[in-house]
Homo-oligomer: A and B are copies of this chain.
Amino acid sequence: MSEDISQVKDALVLFMPSGRRGRFPLGTPVLEAARQLGVYVESVCGGRGICGRCQVSVTEGVFAKHKITSAATHLSPFSDTEARYKAKRGLPEDRRLSCSALIEGDLVIDIPIEAQTNRALVRKRAEARPIPRDPVMQLCYVEVDEPDMEQPLGDADRLVRALEAQWGFVGARCEFRLLPLVQGLLRQGDWKVTVAVHTEGIPTIVSIWPGFHDRLYGIAVDIGSTTIACHLSDMLTGRTVSSTGTANPQIRFGEDLMSRVSYLMMNPDGLPALTTAVRGAIEGLIDKAVNDAGASRDDVLDAVFVGNPIMHHLFLGIDPRELGGAPFALAVSGALTFPAREIGLGVNPGARVYMLPCIAGHVGADAAGAALAEGPQKGKEVTLLVDVGTNAEIVLGNRHRILAASSPTGPAFEGAEISSGQRAAPGAIERVRIDPETLEPKIRVIGLEAWSDEEEFAEKIDQVGVTGICGSGIIEVIGEMFLAGIITQDGVIDGSLAAKSPRIEANGRTFSYLLWRGDQEIRITQNDVRAIQLAKAALYAGVKLLMDRYGCTHVDRIKLAGAFGAHIDTKYAMLIGLIPDCDLKHVSAVGNAAGTGARMCLLNRGHRAEVEDLVTRIEKIETALEPRFQEHFVAAMALPNKIDPFPNLARAVTLPAPKTPLPGEGRGRRGERRRARPDPA
């Protein structure tokens, strides 16, 4: 593509934002220079000025650091090709087509993050982040020679040869399935076609459209035990054009993962039903996602999936029963690439599926995706990444060493096993404050901004109702009950307080706290507190095992992934000892990190290599095998912990003094409220 301008001066070109630079002979097309430096610039038409995907702009000025004086005039004049494109499809003033603009002097070239297509509906999502694009699936416009009796190559062979010559592929081939279609499509497109090429391994033509075609989509799916989320990405811009989610219909076979495995143990022929259920839900999501974006299923050419090991297996039609007991053997752990039609996915028949690798029998592709997205393995700081679900996946470490484990927290954090627990939905209590003097609570429910002591609440609560308490609400009410002295460090509801407040009620030998009185009475029972204690102790013990193995006593940073992590107040999570002590400024919710990891693998082949390498580097800890797990678990039953200090927490919150109730008697002395340990500040 580059013209022959030997003997001529060259120019220094810097590409932003990558910062890659190099010298190129004058007359080199900017696109060609970018390719030589490995800077990804989209192009569907291969430099014919048709697709307009390869737009760039010149950043003018003197860049002393790089010894570059950049000017728009250092590009060749606006070409006829660019003028034609601009007239037909429009082109902003500062933009050039990099296939057409030639380097004629030193330049700083800016590659816009977003390509210039305006028709796609764009939705902003919390987890949306720009991901540098280098997808394995690529659209290539190809002009094919007509048949020649003297050189009787087959039409498909000539197509492959043209693709190789015009796009620089070596050893390309055409998917067998397409052979019966090639002749018709070539003739229909007057010997010009656009092909989708799967560029991993042997470059393979997986789809053909007559003429010019520039729509290419991919989906990234996070298959959770409870919910499934699907993001549709425009592969030519990198934008997430629609996002949809649904409940995992496998719930009817068992709320949590192990109950689904149990179902299979009782119903050995039940595997197809479970697989069909999850695949069906995904089909529904794809339908909705493409409809929302005004796209077509046939333009979906790549699909990336993450999920925990059991969902991973069930989705692939693999019996997960081996995961139900030691040694928790995965059928397959490595990353997988296979044709989407192998699992009957209703997208383009040439589409490929990429499954992220699983880390271990209990630590799945979702944890691998979250680690990829959040990168604890990249920094110097010791980072704890936790994805709380019915199984909590825990990744801990830094660039030197990285460990992972899972811990069976059970479904308490999702509202199950809690007397008034419910999923996060309108009407669910999500925020709680308890006055330590009066023990009177105020609440906030999902669907209503106001607190219950505000006028607006009384006005509007009938529209929403107070129906139960969701995961983040449970964390908060337990934390507030602890702060108010209603429960002791050991998690016992202090029955002696019944004398002080009618909200403390006796139920046989234990007590409960009446959080809400309305159409429905919502109590926090002793059993509820115990369920949360068991769940948080399991998670914390897992974290501690990793910290032991790593050899650290504190972590620098905590990232809470997943929907649960996004909604809880991290202060309360620390207060009840769900996570270890840490500067609260460095504790954050990171949203659906697993889904973000999936999107990264969808859009960039480098991230696939990265996550595949990462899982081999991760040290896997099987919590069930660790003798110290029980010890950590017992200490972690206390609030926040029987043994571990929480100095950072103590700086942010006035922790109650330990008090010793008499649970057998159901009564205790009201504890003095003092700081658990002196504030070192």
- A-to-B contact residues, CB < 8 Å: 146-157, 174, 176-177, 179-180, 182-184, 201-202, 316-319, 322, 326-334, 336, 338, 342, 358-361, 620, 622, 624-625
Contact = CB atoms under 8 A, between A and B. Distances in A.
A327 B154 contact: no
Nearest to A182: B331
22 contacts: A147-B322, A149-B327, A149-B328, A149-B625, A150-B622, A152-B328, A152-B329, A152-B360, A152-B361, A152-B622, A155-B331, A155-B332, A157-B332, A157-B334, A179-B318, A179-B332, A179-B336, A180-B319, A182-B331, A183-B319, A183-B322, A201-B202
A154 B333 contact: yes
A152 B329 CA distance: 7
Contacts of A326: 149
Given A147-B322, A149-B361, A149-B625, 20 more contacts: A150-B620, A150-B622, A150-B625, A152-B327, A152-B329, A152-B360, A152-B361, A152-B622, A153-B333, A154-B333, A154-B358, A155-B329, A155-B332, A156-B332, A157-B330, A174-B332, A179-B316, A179-B336, A182-B332, A201-B202
A625 B150 CA distance: 9
Given A155-B329, A331-B156, A332-B155, A180 B317 contact: yes
Most buried by B among A151, A152, A177, A328: A152
Contacts of A316: 179-180
Task: State the number of copies, please.
Answer: 2
A361 B329 CA distance: 53
A607 to B, nearest CB: 20
A571 to B, nearest CB: 35
8 interchain residue pairs of minimum CB distance: A154-B333, A147-B329, A152-B360, A154-B330, A154-B332, A176-B338, A156-B332, A147-B327
A316 B179 CA distance: 9
Contacts of A318: 179-180, 183
A261 B147 CA distance: 19
A151 B327 CA distance: 10
A622 B149 contact: yes
Contacts of A157: 330, 332-334
B152 A342 contact: no
Contacts of A151: 620
Nearest to A160: B334
A153 B148 CA distance: 53
A154 B176 CA distance: 30
Contacts of A329: 147, 152, 154-155, 183
Given A176-B336, A336-B176, A622-B152, A183 B331 contact: yes
